[in-house]
Structure 1
Amino acid sequence: MQNNNQKRTAIIGAGMAGLLAAINLKKAHRDFMVFEKADSLGGTWRDNRYPGLTCDVPAHAYTYSFAPYAEWSAYHATGPEIKRYFEKVAEDFEITPSIHFNTEITACHFNETDNSWLLKDSHGESHVFDIVIVASGVLHHPSLPDIKGLNDFQGSWFHSAQWEDGLELDDKNIGVVGCGSSGVQIVTALTSVAKQLIHFQRSPQWIMPVEQFDYSEEEKQAFRDNPKLIDDIRYDKQYWENIYRFNKGIINPDSPEMQMVEDICRDYLEKSIHDPELREKLRPDYRAACKRLVYNWQYYDCVQKPNVTIETSAIDHVTKTGVQLSDGTFHELDILVLATGFHADMFIKPTSVIGRDGLSLDTFWSPRPTAHYAVTLPGFPNMFMLNGPTGPVGNFSLIDIAERQWGYIDQLLNIIHAGDAETIEPKVSAFEDYEKRRIEAAQKTIFGSGCSSWYLDKTGVPMTWPWGYQDFVDAMHQPNMSEYDIQAS
């Protein structure tokens, strides 16, 4: 039997998934190192720090199963709170000393001579590992729109994930482009401080109403004294019924569950917006959940304030002082925020990844990023992905998804660490069968019902897990080893 410490593992990324991997490897007394391109941990909750940033998953459900947290201030937590939570978890499990900050991995190449991975970092240093865990995240490459004259604007302009800290917002004319979750949250937060707020809609979004309330100090103390109260929220029957209903609707657009989701969203719009003209501006022309649903509890109230304007006309160009629309309208602005999303097909890119027989990840991911059950890749031995391509996406906790993926990965790692395998990778035939079935099913989901969204690859196929939530749970319960090529030690 080999000693566990003889196999070295590199973790790329110190966000939610990277911390999860590090904690579990540390518990198993395995040798690992975490590489983080930024100067602090937290991933998307570090990069995004815009006003109004809130997770749309209930706070107690958006925590690691092994690290409950009694200090959440409200039912839905803010971004800064979530970042502090991850920092606390990293401290509690003594992970921080194992993180190499400001160290981006620029190349990750497999060496077939000794079945190792050679990693090169942004400082020019090289590192050799036996196993690579890719926990780079999905939404971390900002997508900037191609708007004529943007660089001519003399006010402040930036992507929502690159917020200018210390920016004075009070009594300013502010424009926000984009109305996904970020755009909606920013508009909601700034209507109370802006002189005028212009929300430039590229396409309106369906909004699912959710509740929000603060936790009292008495409730927090109760959580501290009795962690079971946290579990009661985390495993709340109604919450999980909503998750399963939503998931059933996604995979079967003609189902009663999808009809219920659409009815809730439509009724919320109809009952919340009083002005018929504004209501029609806010009404999407595609089915609910075709794009990622926006969960919110006050956007519709905020956009009816007298200092808010919803613009549906396309932006023609930006001038030194504002935005000119194609219908002739001009809006003078002090600040322009681009809540225009991310390149969701990048994952570990632009890192150069080369696997067996010189296979590049760029080639393997043409025409679309994909992975066997969202975790492993044929031709890339001993490389494992957390929240990788074709995994479940939607309005539920990605921590739960990553924990289930880790259970799957850990079983494969155990084979390597036990000395029963030098390398493990999925068979090409098994992967091709999975991908064929996945594409066929994905095209039938609500994501393929006729709208543009970041869920779609460049050929128009949803980059998603297209089956039921329980199907994913079952798939992650235990790897089907007949689908894997194992090279003995």
Structure 2
Amino acid sequence: MDAPHDVVIIGSGFGGIGMAARLLAAGVRDVVVLEKAAGLGGTWRDNTYPGAACDVPSHLYSFSFARKTDWSRRFPPQDEILAYLWDVARKHGVLPRVRFGTEVTEARFDEEAAVWRVSTAGGGELAARVLVSACGQLNRPALPAIEGRDSFAGTSFHSARWDHGADLTGRRVAVIGTGASAIQIVPEIAPRAGRLTVFQRSAPYVIDKPDREYRAWEKALLAAVPALHDLSRARIYASYESRALGFVKYPGLMKLMSRRFRRTLRTQIPDPRLRARLVPDYPMGCKRILLSGDYYPALVRPDVELVTDPITRITPSGVETGRAAYDVDVIVYATGFHTSGFLAPMTIVGRDGLTLDAAWRDGARAHLGITVSGFPNLFLLYGPYTNLGHNSIIYMLESQFRYVLGCVRALRETGLAWIDVRPDVQDAFDRRMRERMRSTVWEAGCASWYMTADGRVVNNWPGFTFAYRRATRRPDPRHFRAGRARPVAPARSGPR
């Protein structure tokens, strides 16, 4: 086998591109990014459905080290976010290090050589001293287990695999799901479809989205005076961070935001019967709060119908509930993602043959959401306990970049072959997370994608993002077991 690379990163979304950029800036040159698709971008490459956009303002949904002052809108659309990621990859030297069309099937820690042996779907293999998973939490579409789903004779697809060849003009379209993707899709396709039927299992909380285009003079001013961009970013951060009080400390404060929801609903839905069906039956914040200024107006169109009866089955001609049958030509599954597997479907094997599936049989666990005991020199980005309900995940990722970079530096400077977080440290962190999670709104009595099948919330960070940044400011040597390096062949200076 070729000499091991210093760092191999799996995935080229925000996590993978940002981590590679920070490593290169710190002088770690032998970095390889493995991407299973033909292009980079992660979720912003995959989700190209009509209306796809971010619900975090653009000035905050971007890297602090890669300022962009010419966003077209306050809330960035999918195509601009994807273009931004390509731009960052080019300007920071990441793009030449990305191997496209390279899907990782297995990574196995070779204890004798102290490297990760990474196998790919094409039969290739490479070695890495450090392995970073930047796969994200929202990358594997979930299709509902509905009887007869495969029998449908028309066109059907998941929102994250949008069929741009399907002409919806004048067609009878069903959208199954009313989550973050659906509320963006419905307003976009309603004017084109002949008839749109929206199947709602659980009503979401939707509040108005204060979106608008940036004026030319605003963009010019931001470019000319960088401090204004920094000030805008800080102001948005502070505003969003304050919401953590309601999510993680005092759930009763969510009643204040609930008033905003009810005001939006009352203003945009004049029919009291329809309005009643759009009121959630769980506390606000327990599931993801959605932002939209046009979802509710789309539901009052005469050619749009909201169905709240449970779907019993799908037939060759459409969708059936216990009360009615709906003949449709196209079914769009806006049904979310598999969110608790993190590194699935890859096989990850650590020390003593321990598989990640076995280590996580009772739920995903990782110290600070980054390191897993028994898996030396493996680092997760956007792992367990690092998702947010109130702020920008980019801020969390940048905290993780610094922590991982600190670990890589420690390995290089001390001559260690590997570091492995101690099991007692990981267990103590996991206990703290479970204890703190009990007071959060996410455990207030609803089922959400934040939860495992047994009801544990393992996705979200139960605290302030600045507290997470403080906790990850540098790796603590006392938290790790370590092994000394053996002589190895010199690493290459760059990718092949």
In 1: Cα distance, 2:113 partner to 2:209 partner? 53
Corresponding residue number in structure 2 for 1:262: 258
Counterpart residue number, 1:317: 313
1:361 deviates by 0.3
> Which is worse superposed, 443-452 or 274-283?
443-452
Asked whether the 8 Å contact 1:57–1:395 carries over to 2, the reply is no
| SS of equivalent to 1:477 | coil
1:439 equivalent to 2:434? Answer: yes
- SS for the counterpart of 1:67 is coil
Quote the residue 1:83 is aligned against: 82
Q: Deviations over 1:318-341 (max 9, x none)?
A: 2222212211x2222121100001
- Choose which of 6, 25, 28 in structure 2 pairs with 1:27: 25
Q: Deviations over 1:104-150 (max 9, x none)?
A: 11110001112111111111111111100110111111110112222
Q: How far does the alpha carbon of each residue in 1:151-178 deviate from its partner, in whole angstroms, 9 at most, with x for none?
A: 2222210111111023212222211011
SS in 1 for 2:274: helix
User: 2:295 matched to which residue of 1?
Assistant: 299
Please identify, of 311-320 and 371-380, the stretch whose mean Cα deviation from structure 2 is larger.
Answer: 311-320
What is residue 100 of structure 1 aligned with on the other side? Answer: 99
Corresponding residue for residue 114 of structure 1: 113
1:396 counterpart residue number: 391
Displacement of 1:224 after TM fit?
A: 2.9
**Corresponding residue for residue 130 of structure 1:** 129
- By how many angstroms is 1:241 displaced? 3.7
Pairs within 5 Å for 1:449-464: 449-463=444-458, 464=460
Please point out which of 472, 475, 487 is paired with 2:471: 475
Amino acid in structure 1 at the alignment position of 2:371: T
**1:182 deviation in Å?**
0.4
Partner residue of 2:229? 230
Shift in Å, 1:233: 2.1
Separation in 2, partners of 1:218, 1:193 = 35
**How far off its partner does 1:420 sit?**
4.3
Q: Is this contact kept in 1: 2:255–2:284, CA < 8 A?
A: no
Q: Tell me what 2:237 maps to.
A: 240
- How far apart, CA to CA, are the structure 1 residues paired with 2:452 and 2:414? 39
Q: 1:277 aligns with which of 256, 273, 277?
A: 273
Question: Which residue matches 2:59?
Answer: 60
Instruction: Give, in whole Å, the separation in 2 of the partners of 1:180 and 1:392.
Output: 17
The one-character-per-residue Cα deviations of 1:356-412 (angstroms, maximum 9, x if unpaired) are 111100011111112101011111111111111111322421111100111111111
Q: Distance in 1 between matches of 2:241 and 2:13?
A: 27
1:158 paired with 2:160, answer: no
Match of 2:6 in 1: 8
32 and 180 in structure 1: CA distance in 2 versus 1, 3 angstrom threshold: same
| Structure 2 Cα separation of the partners of residues 340 and 99 of structure 1 | 30
1:371 aligned residue: 366
- Please state how far the C-alpha of 1:259 moved relative to its aligned partner: 2.6
* 1:331 corresponding residue in structure 2: 326
The structural deviation recorded for 1:69 is 1.4
Q: How does 1:202-217 map to 2 (within 5 A)?
A: 202-217=201-216
Equivalents in 2 of 1:425, 1:45: separation in Å? Answer: 32
Structure 2: distance between partners of 1:6 and 1:141: 29
CA distance in 2, matches of 1:451, 1:192: 33
Give secondary structure in 2 for the equivalent of 1:447.
Answer: helix
Amino acid at match of 1:94: G
**Aligned equivalents of 1:443, 1:342: Cα separation in 2:** 24
Letter in 1 for 2:19: A
Match of 2:489 in 1: none
- Specify which of 6, 10, 18 is matched with residue 16 of structure 2: 18
- Cα 1:6–1:324 change in 2 (3 A) is closer
- Residue deviations 1:59-99, cap 9 Å, x none? 11111111111231111111111111111111112211111
Shift of 1:351: 0.9
Per-residue deviation, 1:268? 2.3
In 2, the alpha carbon distance for the partners of 1:258 and 1:472 equals 22
SS in 1 for 2:139: coil
Distance 2:242 2:26 in 1: 37
Aligned to 2:117, the other structure's residue is in SS state strand
Identify the match of residue 380 of structure 1 among 349, 369, 375.
Answer: 375
Match of 1:69, SS? Answer: coil
Matched residue SS, 2:332? strand
In the alignment, the residues of structure 1 paired with residue 228 and residue 173 of structure 2 have an alpha-carbon distance, to the nearest angstrom, of 42
> Is contact 1:55–1:76 with CA below 8 Å preserved after alignment?
yes
Q: Is the 8 A contact 1:70 1:223 kept in 2?
A: yes
Q: Residue 242 of structure 2 aligns to a residue in which SS?
A: helix
- Structure 2: distance between partners of 1:318 and 1:138: 28
How far is 1:471 from its partner? Answer: 2.0
The match for 2:283 is 287
Instruction: Give the fraction of aligned pairs with identical amino acids, expressed as a percent.
Output: 33
Contact 1:7-1:417 at 8 Å conserved across structures: no
Question: Using the alignment, how far apart are the partners of 1:10 and 1:244 within structure 2?
Answer: 33
Inter-CA distance 29–477: structure 2 relative to 1 (3 Å threshold):
closer
Paired with 2:358 and 2:394, the residues of 1 have a C-alpha distance of 30
1:249 maps to 2:246: yes
**1:290 Cα offset (Å):** 0.3
